[in-house]
Amino acid sequence: MAAFFCKQTNCVRHKKEYSKDISKQIGGFIMTKETEKELRERLSKQEFEVTQHAATEAPFTGKYDDFYKKGIYVDIVSGEALFSSAEKYDAGCGWPSFSKPIPGSKIAELADNSLPGHQRVEVRSGEANSHLGHVFPDGPQDQGGLRYCINSASLKFIAEKEMAAAGYKDYLNVL
């Protein structure tokens, strides 16, 4: 199932289960995430638990579930651009839902067998390896058929009028 989603979305493919290694090599440079202490100081408890320990916020409680302003959603840990408001829709599931990530994003999709009897596909950010949520094959068929079910606690919204000043002007074309 994960291979199907990766083929559909051009995501980063991972053959192994998630590793808690805090560094990765990108273009010859070693990129290191903030320490656990730094993240705990900067993020709320819920943001930390969701992004670092794959917790799930309760349905219909996240600030972006019923939120439809124009802009982009970025990883709350790294600021990596993930989703556009143009791809957001109301799936009625209680979490923000998107039909696809922003083109060129490095979202990773991994097999998630953490719930007995349920095989899911976990979604993680490419830069910080933050847990974002899950992707399911029950989205709008006219938009590719996928539903990226994402925790609000893993996201930060950047409004269209703030995108250029915040360093996201290259993403104005995806709105």
Between strands 108-115 and 12-13, the pairing is parallel
Structure tokens at 172: 């104005």
Structure confidence by residue, pLDDT tens digits, 53-108: 999 999 999 999 999 999 999 999 999 999 999 999 999 999 999 999 999 899 99
Q: What SS3 class is residue 165? A: coil
State how far the Cα of 50 lies from the Cα of 55, in Å rounded to an integer.
4
Structure tokens at 122: 């976990």
- For position 118, what pLDDT does the model report? 86
Between strands 81-84 and 118-124, the pairing is unpaired
- For position 53, what pLDDT does the model report? 96
Greater confidence (4 vs 58) lies with: 58
State how far the Cα of 137 lies from the Cα of 126, in Å rounded to an integer.
21
Structure tokens at 70: 């124009």
Between strands 81-84 and 147-150, the pairing is unpaired
Superfamily of domain 34-171: Peptide methionine sulfoxide reductase. (2.170.150.20)
pLDDT surpasses 50 at 21: no
Q: What SS3 class is residue 61? A: coil
Query: Please, which residues bridge with residue 133 across strands?
Result: 123, 150
pLDDT surpasses 70 at 156: yes
Q: Which of 6, 11, 93, 149 is catalytic?
A: 149
**Ramachandran bin of 139, using left for φ above 0, alpha for ψ from -120 to 50, beta for the remaining angles:** beta
Are 112 and 63 a contacting pair, CB within 8 Å?
no
- Which residue type is seen at 34? E
- For position 115, what pLDDT does the model report? 85
Are 126 and 80 a contacting pair, CB within 8 Å?
yes
- Which residue type is seen at 150? I
149 assigned to active site: yes
What number of other Cβ atoms are within 10 A of residue 44's Cβ? Answer: 11
Structure confidence by residue, pLDDT tens digits, 97-152: 999 999 989 999 999 988 888 889 999 999 999 999 999 999 999 999 999 999 99
CA angle at residue 15 from 77 to 35, to 5 degrees? 25
pLDDT surpasses 70 at 161: yes
